[in-house]
């Protein structure tokens, strides 16, 4: 009987200690893995070049004078696919402004595969099949990664991951760069 009481006390102390020390320090937060970083405008490490889905050579420097949202994405990336309607909305909302969305497809196969994907998912902005190695130059750590580039060709903001309210954040940031025009 005495052994049973001692065993019960030991188990109770063990359960209490486990509950006290093994619980999270704070309640869990339901937030997706997102990084949003603002920068003092910094030059891009290099021009982003590639071939668009019409087979035309493309260089990001062609867009100097415009604000650009450069979207690093891949056909196999679920959050990238989920972002297509948001990016279409951004492009539509800012139509007529000095702004462009450029989808920069990497690790996605040849242009024909990317074109089929773009058609299937209704991409309405310009898509460029890019150089996979450029992801290292630009510090892409996950997909999708969006770089907001100002009129002088400098990176001013980076968004990484599945970002709630992406379209509204980008629209506000672009309008701020354009001087509040609407």
* pLDDT tens string 65-87: 999 999 999 999 999 999 999 99
pLDDT, tens digit, 9 for 90 and up, residues 13-61: 443 443 333 333 333 333 344 455 555 778 888 888 999 999 999 999 9
Helix (H/G/I), strand (E/B), else coil: 95: coil
CA dihedral sign of residues 58, 60, 65, 71: positive
- The residue-averaged pLDDT of 109-133 equals 94
Which homologous superfamily is 33-177 in? Glutaredoxin (3.40.30.10)
* Burial (Cβ within 10 Å: 0-12, 13-18, ≥19) of residue 71: buried
Helix (H/G/I), strand (E/B), else coil: 149: strand
Query: Is 147 in contact with 69 (CB distance < 8 Å)?
Result: yes
Cβ neighbours for 121, distance < 8 A, ≥ 6 positions apart = 81, 84
**Which residues does residue 57 pair with via DSSP β-bridges, in sequence order?**
51
Query: Is 52 in contact with 58 (CB distance < 8 Å)?
Result: yes
CA 76 to chain centre: 14
């Amino acid at each position: 009987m005495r052994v049973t009481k001692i065993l019960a006390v030991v188990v109770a102390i063990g359960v209490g200690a486990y509950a006290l020390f093994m619980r999270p320090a704070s309640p869990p937060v339901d937030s997706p893995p997102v990084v949003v970083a603002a920068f003092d405008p910094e030059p891009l490490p290099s021009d982003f070049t590639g071939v668009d889905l019409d087979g035309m050579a493309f260089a990001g420097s062609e867009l100097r004078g415009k604000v650009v949202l450069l979207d690093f994405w891949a056909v196999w990336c679920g959050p990238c696919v989920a972002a297509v309607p948001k990016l279409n909305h951004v492009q539509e909302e800012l139509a007529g402004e000095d702004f462009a969305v450029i989808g920069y497809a990497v690790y996605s196969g040849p242009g024909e595969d990317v074109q089929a994907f773009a058609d299937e998912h209704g991409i309405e902005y310009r898509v460029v099949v890019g150089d996979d190695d450029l992801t290292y130059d630009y510090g892409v750590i996950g997909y999708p990664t969006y770089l907001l580039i100002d009129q002088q060709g400098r990176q001013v903001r980076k968004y990484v991951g599945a970002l709630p309210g992406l379209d509204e954040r980008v629209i506000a940031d672009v309008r701020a760069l354009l001087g509040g025009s609407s």
